[in-house]
Structures are given as C-alpha cells and as structure tokens.
Structure 1
Amino acid sequence: MDFTLNDRQAGYRDRVRDFMERRVWPAREAYEHELAEGQRWAPVKVMETLKAEARDCGLWNLFMPPTGAQPIDSTYVFEGPSLSNVEYALCAEEMGRIEWASEVFNCSAPDTGNMEVLHRFGTAEQKTRWLGPLMRGEIRSAFLMTEPDVASSDATNIRTRIERDGDEYVINGRKWWSGGVGDPRCRLAIVMGRSSPEAARHRQQAMILIDMTTPGVRIERMLSVFGYDHAPHGFGEVLLENVRVPASSMILGEGKGFEIAQGRLGPGRIHHCMRTIGVAEVALEAMCRRLVARSAFGKTIAEHSVWDQRISRARIDIETSRLLSLKAADMMDRHGAASAALEVALIKVQGPRVALQILDDAIQAHGGAGVSADFDLARAWATVRTLRLADGPDEVHERAIARAELAKYRTL
C-alpha cells in the first residue's frame, strides 16, 4: 500500500495551491468589498478576472474529461484535463479553503454535477445548447430536487409532475433550496420530478432541462442559511407552473431519474467532503494563531491544557477524514461508483461533522470575535452545517452504513 502521490496528482494539487496563494487569497478582500458595496445579486468583477487567469493557466474544468479535437459547435472544443477522482479530490481540498474559490476554476456546485450529467447522459443537442456555455463559464445553472411539502430525503416522495403533451413536457411543482437560482447568470435548471407515477418505485422519476427564462418559472423568494444569503449564488424557492419545454429536454428518458442521480451524487459527495477538509484546515490554522497570540490568566491561551486535546483531536480528525475521502475516490477510480458506495457514505457523515467541530473550537478560541463578522468562522460554520443535509442527510447515510454492517452477520 503506497500513499505517495504520483507526479500528476501532486502536480495539479500544487498548481491549484500556488494559484490560490498567488491570486485568490490576495483578491479576497476586494471580492468581499465589492460584494458588500455593490448589488448583492450581481456577478462580482473580481471573480471574472480570476476566472480568466485560471483558464489561461490551464486550471479550468478540472473535473471534466476532454473529448479530443472535435467541437460540439462551430466555435468550441471541450476543455478539461480529465482528472481522476483522486486527482480532483486533492485540488478540491485546496479550493475549499475559500468558500467561493471553486468558481474561479469553473468547478463550483451545482454546475459541476450538472455538467457531469450532461456529459454522461446528454444528447448532442443538449450538449451544444447547455454544456458548451457552462464549460466556457458563460452561464450558471441550478439543480432542483428538494421540495418543501415532502421529506425529500426520500426522493420517491417528490411530487413535481413531468407530463408528456405531444411534442412537449409540462412541469408543475414547487422546489426549494435550489442552489444558484439567485445568480442572474443562471440560465439552466435540471429538475427532478415524477414522470411515470404507475411505474416501480425507483422508476417513477425523471430529470429534465428547463431554461430559467421559460414562462411559468418563478423564483418566489431567496432563502437564508442562519441569516446568510450566500449572494450572488444563493438558494431559492421556485414555483414551476405549467412550464412547457420541448420533449428533447428530457435527459436519458422517463423513469431514469434515479439512475442519473446515482451517477451525479457519488463524485459530488467526495468533492464536498474534500472541500470541507480545506475549511477545517483553515479553521485549525486560525485557532492556533489565535491561541498563541492571546494571553489570559498570566499565560497564552495555548498553554491552558484544555486546548491540547482540542488541537490534537482536530489534527487526527482531519488526517483520518482525508484518508477516507481519498480511499473512496480511489475505489471509484478503480472499480466504479457502486464499489465505493459505503466509503462515500462514511465520509459524507464524517467530513462535515469533523469540520463543524473544528470550526466550533476555532470560534471558541476567538471568544466574542468568533461569532462576529470580523472573522469568517461563523459564516463557514453555517455553510458547512448545510452539508449534513445536502446530498442526503446524515441519517440516510448512517442507515446505509448500519445495514452494510449488519448484513455481515445476517448471512452467517
């Protein structure tokens, strides 16, 4: 068992790390200032500058495979270095150190998952219309699955209807926690709904493409997460009322929604977890810097023994979470997503919990400053807390883990 990174793995990680240190970290203050002083739901100019530079450096669409020299339209050739899951996971950790940094490399959710869906399952027409602009960074996208009126942790509960009417599909339903809909560049939504209600339980759902400018699509409100609106990206509640789209907008076919979702969510969960490791590393660094810089009761805070346990636990948890994430990514690379299902469930539970605990300790180390807006710890905590719900709540993954464990003994 060799844990040494090869030249390609270390090379891409180091290139992303170097770009983050040289360009993204120094631009952070300007980004935050522009977002605070300008229109909150408008693209940030600093971001567009960084994106152009990252693309020029070849750090663009890192998760996507190339398709050779054949253009999908008259002007565009797929760009992407075709990183493996392990290679991309290492880069995702570096991007995760700043909440918005993934967009710099055109690697932010939900665009990444949507682009993977289009690449794997889309028709030539769908790729030309939507995948090209997404990969060029010209538009943003959203993924509409969760609904306010049902427990969406069980996707078979979803009630949005997708009904065939001649050469069109008609969509009716209400979605929320629809990431990305607040961005004015959001032109595409992939919607999961019920297309075949009489079919078997996991064959009732479908995924379909909707142009956000289509009549009947209405963003009713933007939602906050612990008071943070996450502009200019944001999460919204969306009403779909008699939305008509061409029949060619269906992805893969009616009843294929779960099949598509499994291909979309496996790698995405690893991406999320590796980004949270980046968050945890930044929080641990902030905590340690604060502990050695402040004194109380005649000695530095770091010298009070209670912090020894918290710091050591943080380092242990980060290292174990990283290894588990990379193990899941390696299994997916070698044997496919199904082989890594258990490991993905393990890290999906472990990763956010570890980051939340380290963030909580870092907030404690900062005292009153930790819960203020002067440091980014409170906002980071709020963001990571959502990951215990996103892409399946902890309880769903814990159920899968427990079933796998119990199965070992039921077969004896």
Structure 2
Amino acid sequence: MFAELSDRARALRERLETFMAEHVYPNEHALLAPSREGKDKWAPRPLLGELQAKARAQGLWNLFYNHGSEGQGLSNYEYGHLCEVLGRSLAAPEIFNCNAPDVGNMEILSIYGTDMQKERWLKPLLEAEIRSCFAMTEPRVASSDATNIETEIRRDGDHYVINGRKWWVTGAPSERCKVAIVMGKSDPSAPKHKQQSMVLVPMDAPGVTVERALSVYGYEHAPLGHGEVVFRDVRIPAGNMLLGEGRGFEIAQGRLGPGRIHHCMRFIGLAERALEIMCKRSASRTAFGSTLAEMGAVRQAIGQSRCDIEQGRLMTLKAAWMMDTIGNKAARNDIAIAKIVVPTMAGAVIDRAIQVHGGGGLSQDFFLAEAFAETRFLRIGDGPDEVHREALARVELARYA
C-alpha cells in the first residue's frame, strides 16, 4: 500500500536527522527551560532565532507546507517521515516553522484566505516573523461539542463585534502572537452547523485581553503557552471574515484533520526516543545484583513498547497515505483512529521509560516528564478520544443498519 520515499524526501530526512543531532538535542534544555519570569517569560529566545536561520539556510523550512514555493511540496506521507524526526524533541517544531497552532492556521489561510488576508497574515507566518493562535474552546461550555460555543460574532455595518471568553488558546501569551482565528456564533437562528463563523482578530485590537496562562501538569510551555483570552466589544473589519458567515464548521473540519495527523506523526518520534533512552538506561543501571535490562519486567516493557510504536506508526502513515490518495475528508476515519491510538500509545511508552528511570524520570533532567504531559494533553486537545470513538462507532453501526 505504501510507496517508497522519494530520493528528495529521503535526503531531507537525512539532513534533518543531522541537524537535530548537531543543533537541537544539545540546545534542548536551553530552549525549553522555564528560566525567566514576568513578561520576559513570553519573549522569544534569541537562540531560537539563531537555529531558525540555520534551518532555513539548510532548506529545512516550512517542511509541512505544500501550497506554494514557500514550502517543500511534500505529500502528507512524505512529511510524516520527516515529522517523526522533528517530533523527537518538543523544542524542534518551531525551529523549522512547523509548530502548532501556526501550521493549522497557515493551512486555513492558504486554503480559505483572501489575497488581502494572505498578504497581511500568511506571508509573515511563513517567514516566522509573527506567531498566531486559534481560539475555539470555551471554559463555560462543553466545547467537545462545538455547537455549544457561545462567543458572539455580530455584524455592525462594515465591522463585526466580538464578545466572548476562550481558553486553551495555544500561543496567545507569546509577545510574538499577532493574530487569532476566532470561532463564534454569527447567526444563532441558522441550522445547527451553520451558526458558527471564523474571523481573524489582531491580538492588539482594543478589547482583546490575555487574562492568564494555563499550565499542563505545571508546565506553562513558555514562550508560547496556552492562554485564557477575553474578547470585549472587539471591532474588526468585515474583511476579516474567513470564507463567509456560517462556514466555521467547514473551516474547522478542513483544519483539524491535518492538524491531528501532524500531532500523531510527532508523537511517533517522541515515543521512539523514549524507547531508546529506556533501553540505554536499563543497560547501564544495576539493582539487586543485575542490570535493569536483565529483569523480566523491564524486558517486557521494552518489547511491548516496540510493538506499540510499530502499530502506531503504521496507523499514522496509512492515514497520511489516505489523505494523499482520497482526500482529507474521505480519510477522516483513518485520521480519527490514529488520533485515538497514538497519543495514548506514546503516553504509555513514555510512562514505562519514566518508570525505568526512577526518580530521574520525574525530574527536569530528562525530557520524559514534559513529554508525558504533552501526550496526555492531546488525548483531550483536538477533540477528546471519546468523541472520535463515538464517530467511528456510528460509521461501523451504519454498515449493519
């Protein structure tokens, strides 16, 4: 079913692996360490800019992007192999301008944006001159059912006025975040899935307030972070509407599918790296007269982890291949399967690695604790697992109706 990687994609992967070894792993702690306080916490680190320049010079820029000459023109299947490599470090995606939520937002602007919107927002995003965020989830309603969203988008002449509260707005605390894609209700009287719209909101518009940063198991993920954002009588030009009123769900489905599979691609790499250091740790540590690698429980954990990773990789690559061959919408079930399986798989592998590392695995001395928090987060982010299982069950049951 799967094709061989092209020579170009294989060469890019080899170049990416070399870059990771030379520049990312040695600087990983400096890039991720929450060493600053106050406003400086959300300021870009100079080291990131230096590494971005090096990545760009080596042709390792916008690897995900296949809508124009700004990217590499890779298929989802080809990018999956590269994304696994850059996913090995939580510090890596932004170095190559392949980080969430910007990847999804750039996809939205590429597919649905007007020429004016692309010039103002997409172009600087592709250059990493700015960052963006995506405001959909709300604290007051169960946002796993997006029809619950209450944020108001009201037409007022040549403008829209926005009122509402959002949270888990990844990237919002960053001082480089200049635009939000906001989903809200523009017509409560319309059919259920035609009530919502998406608009582009400058983060410096009057009435936009990032009230606080939210942590994931204590990690604030600075300098991007996850924010709770309030919109109070925010006025934006009518030209900031994306695609048209009532088409928010249409855009959301176009965005979230590729975004979900990108997370899965990265998590394969994260799990693979966790298994590697689990093996090295177990071979180098001695307890009760033998190495950990000689203990049956540890060997079982290693063997099961290899099985789990291979299953997750095949599911993810199949979904990517289906997206390339039959389209994102038709591949939605395969994407959902990968989204359910891979974050849970990666979390289980990382958890085993933490156990083998003992107290060290819980500390900041290894990447494992923060990686575990990230994988656990994605069992809720981009739609809870239960929602995806429910959708898959409906498809299965319909076959026998």
TM range (shorter): over 0.9
- Contact residue 12 and residue 87 of structure 1 kept, 8 A: no
The CA distance in 2 between the partners of 1:2 and 1:226, in whole Å, is 38
Partner of 2:35: 36
Superposed CA deviations along residues 83-137 of structure 1, whole A, max 9, x for unmatched, are 1111111111111111021001111010000001000000000001101111111
| One-letter code aligned to 1:329 | A
**Residues 138, 2 of structure 1: CA spacing in aligned structure 2 closer, same or farther, 3 A cutoff?**
closer
Partner of 1:207: 198
Q: Is 1:376 matched with 2:367?
A: yes
**Residues 66, 145 of structure 1: CA spacing in aligned structure 2 closer, same or farther, 3 A cutoff?**
closer
What's the TM-score once normalised by structure 1's chain length?
A: 0.94
> After TM superposition, which residue ranges in structure 1, 4 or more long, deviate above 4 angstroms?
none
RMSD, matched Cα: 1.3
The CA distance in 2 between the partners of 1:394 and 1:349, in whole Å, is 5
Partner of 1:309: 300
Alignment coverage as a number of residue pairs = 399
- Contact residue 13 and residue 87 of structure 1 kept, 8 A: no
Superposed CA deviations along residues 337-368 of structure 1, whole A, max 9, x for unmatched, are 12211111100010000011011111110111
Partner of 1:75: none
141-150 or 359-368, larger mean C-alpha shift: 359-368
| One-letter code aligned to 1:321 | G
The CA distance in 1 between the partners of 2:231 and 2:72, in whole Å, is 37
334-343 or 23-32, larger mean C-alpha shift: 23-32
The CA distance in 1 between the partners of 2:41 and 2:357, in whole Å, is 28
The CA distance in 2 between the partners of 1:36 and 1:211, in whole Å, is 29
**Residues 400, 319 of structure 1: CA spacing in aligned structure 2 closer, same or farther, 3 A cutoff?**
same
Q: Is 1:14 matched with 2:14?
A: yes
For 2:63, what is the secondary structure of its paired residue? coil
Superposed CA deviations along residues 14-59 of structure 1, whole A, max 9, x for unmatched, are 22222111221222244346x5157321101111001011111111
Q: Is 1:57 matched with 2:58?
A: yes
The CA distance in 1 between the partners of 2:295 and 2:3, in whole Å, is 35
> Which of 170, 175, 191 does residue 182 from structure 2 map onto?
191
**Residues 28, 2 of structure 1: CA spacing in aligned structure 2 closer, same or farther, 3 A cutoff?**
closer
- Give the C-alpha shift of residue 66 in structure 1: 4.9
| One-letter code aligned to 1:95 | L
- Give the C-alpha shift of residue 8 in structure 1: 3.1
The CA distance in 2 between the partners of 1:99 and 1:246, in whole Å, is 36
- Give the C-alpha shift of residue 2 in structure 1: 5.0
For 1:409, what is the secondary structure of its paired residue? coil
The CA distance in 1 between the partners of 2:395 and 2:14, in whole Å, is 37
> Which of 226, 230, 254 does residue 263 from structure 1 map onto?
254
What's the TM-score once normalised by structure 2's chain length?
A: 0.97
- Contact residue 32 and residue 221 of structure 2 kept, 8 A: no
The CA distance in 1 between the partners of 2:101 and 2:220, in whole Å, is 17
Q: Is 1:139 matched with 2:130?
A: yes
| One-letter code aligned to 1:336 | G
Partner of 1:180: 171
The CA distance in 1 between the partners of 2:123 and 2:339, in whole Å, is 30
The CA distance in 1 between the partners of 2:25 and 2:301, in whole Å, is 27
Partner of 1:238: 229
Identity %: 55
Unaligned runs of 5+ in 1: 68-77
| One-letter code aligned to 2:394 | R
